[in-house]
Each structure stands twice: as C-alpha cells, then as structure tokens.
C-alpha cells in the first residue's frame, strides 16, 4: 500500500502523518507484533543473557571448579 502511495503521490506523502496514521498502516503494525515478539524472545534475550553471563562470569567453569592443590 505504501509503495502504491509513493508511486502515485511521492515519497514525502507516503511518510507523512495523514498516510501513516490512517487505519490500514496502523492495523498492519499490529499484524507485525507477533513476529517482533518472537524475534525479541528467541533472538535478543538469549544474546543479552549470553553477553551478561560472559561479562559477569556467571555459569563459568572457573567459578564453580574446585581450587587446585
């Protein structure tokens, strides 16, 4: 829909508030929400957890290993 509006009225109109604030663009944003949630839960959260665990040493083998004699 936005591509058709660009072809008919120009890029400036397709990115304007009257066009993006209408019913269909807002509805399409809601249709994208489930995919965004899947990306956040299965993509971004594990990456952040891995970075934080590597930074803090949490779950590190060295932290849980018995001291050498």
The more confidently predicted of residues 69 and 7 is 7
Amino acid 2: pLDDT: 82
**Sequence spans of domains, the chain:** 2-64
In whole angstroms, give the CA distance from residue 56 to residue 46: 15
Annotate 22-37 with b (16+ C-beta within 10 A) or e (fewer).
eeeeeeeeeeeeeeee
Query: 50 or 66: which carries more pLDDT confidence?
Result: 50
What pLDDT sits at residue 65?
58
Q: For residue range 4-58, what is the model confidence (pLDDT) as tens digits? A: 889 999 998 888 988 888 898 889 889 999 999 999 999 999 999 999 888 888 7
Look at residue 7 in the predicted model and tell me its pLDDT.
Answer: 93
Retrieve residue 57's tokens.
């040493």
Predicted pLDDT of residue 63: 54
Chain centroid to Cα 5, Å, comes to 26
């Amino acid at each position: 829909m936005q591509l058709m509006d660009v072809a008919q009225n120009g890029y400036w109109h397709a990115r304007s508030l009257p066009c993006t604030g209408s019913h269909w663009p807002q509805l399409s944003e809601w249709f994208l929400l489930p995919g965004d949630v899947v990306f956040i839960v299965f993509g971004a959260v594990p990456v952040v957890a891995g970075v934080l665990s590597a930074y803090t040493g949490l779950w590190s083998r060295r932290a849980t290993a018995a001291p050498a004699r």
